Amino acid sequence: MSALNLAQALIKIKSISPDDGGCFKLLEPELVSLGFGIEKIKELNCETLLAKFGTKGKIFCYLGHTDVVPSGPEEEWSSHPFEANVIDGELIGRGAADMKGSVAAFIEALKNFLPNCPEPDFQIWVMLTSNEEGEPQDGKINTLINALAAKNEIIDYCLVGEASSSDRVGDVLRVGRRGSLSGNLKLLGKQGHVAYPQKVLSPILEIGPVIAELRDVEWDQGNEYFDPTSFQISNIESGTGATNVVPGHLNMLFNFRFSPESSHASLKQRVISVLNKSKCEFEIEWTLNAEPYLTQKTNLLQIIQKALLAVNQKEAVVDNGGGTSDGRWVAPSGAEVIELGPINQTIHQIDEKISLADLELLTKIYHQILVETQIAAS
């Protein structure tokens, strides 16, 4: 199948995290026909497909995912989110840009590369997960990465196909990400009648000064590679629904995106010091979603910039913005991790899309990266 046909076939599979939905079954024969050996690993509800080609040289891994977020109201789409229709030169559907289009483009690039270089001087892996978008309790690829490291199978170069580009495919590379630390706060007050304030302790009133102080803290100033650490609140829940009852507790979900200038331990300590000023007792459940990582001037960056210069006649801007990706699991092993994928304008939105021209351009870029990797390895 061509990149377009493969992308359409993948989009038609409703693979909501952590359900692969049959994407691996579709992709496996494509990779086997190219000479890849296939391993499939399942942890909890997360499935991972690991395809390996070659046994010599450095390991070049393309890291991607087949799962998607829910479509939202299907009636609001201009074309059904799981029909993968092409309208005015654009492929529309959930996962078109994040990241079934990328997966299809890389497999097409392999089809163009391997016939001309059947015995490359580096190993090629394709690692795909069914739970990049979903929750950690369903399983993540870090278990596989750790198991491979225990067998001394260490990825050298990791190309992540996330939607990194801004205005033109290949104009931005993500070479690092801030860390992510989430907190689930329960503030414990005392429930009672609103007419007797001396007998109650309102967690709603107590959380106000806490939020104000946390909002105004300068956690750090970032550095030359990373924006400063930021704090955001995503959910607050309290109250009984009655107008004459002061609630006894409040729940608040919050998140830090933190630079290497702060540690998750220091952030926890500073939050607790603010909460200690409240009259309420409290409980916090912490989740460290990711540590910050950075791939600086390295071999992989040089390889990709050469490929972009050859295809786009221009190198990319290096950036570390955005959310997290599965690159966070690979980076701690020492791999050079860089994200390069479609334009990031419609991911997770109604009418997610990738233009046919961009799909073709991404395929050319991925192919040239393989060519440049072979040149560097030979």
Hey, where are the domains in the chain? 3-177+292-377, 179-290
CATH class of the domain comprising 3-177+292-377: alpha beta
pLDDT at 230 (0 to 100): 95
Predicted pLDDT at 322:
75
Indicate the fold that domain 179-290 takes in CATH: Alpha-Beta Plaits (3.30.70)
pTM of the model: 0.86
Is the CA virtual torsion 21, 25, 30, 34 positive or negative?
A: positive
Active site annotation includes 67: yes
List 19, 20, 67, 206, catalytic entry: 67
Point out the catalytic residue in the list 20, 98, 132, 162: 132
Quick one: CA dihedral 314, 320, 326, 331, positive or negative? Answer: positive
What are the tokens at 236? 């607050």
pLDDT at position 103 is 98
CA–CA dist 146, 140 (Å, integer):
11
Position 141 scores a pLDDT of: 84
Rounded CA gap, 255 and 229, in Å? 10
pLDDT in tens, the chain (378 residues): 899 999 999 999 999 999 999 999 999 999 999 999 999 998 888 899 999 999 999 999 999 999 999 999 999 999 999 999 999 999 999 999 999 999 999 999 999 999 999 999 999 999 999 989 887 777 788 888 888 988 989 999 999 999 999 999 999 999 999 999 999 999 999 999 999 999 999 999 999 999 999 999 999 999 888 889 999 999 999 999 999 999 999 999 999 999 999 999 999 999 999 999 999 999 999 999 888 999 877 899 999 999 999 999 999 999 887 777 889 889 988 899 999 999 999 999 999 999 999 999 999 999 999 999 999 999
Question: Quick one: pLDDT at residue 197?
Answer: 95
Do 3-177+292-377 and 179-290 fold alike per CATH?
no
Is 132 among the residues known to form the active site? yes
CA–CA dist 355, 378 (Å, integer): 35
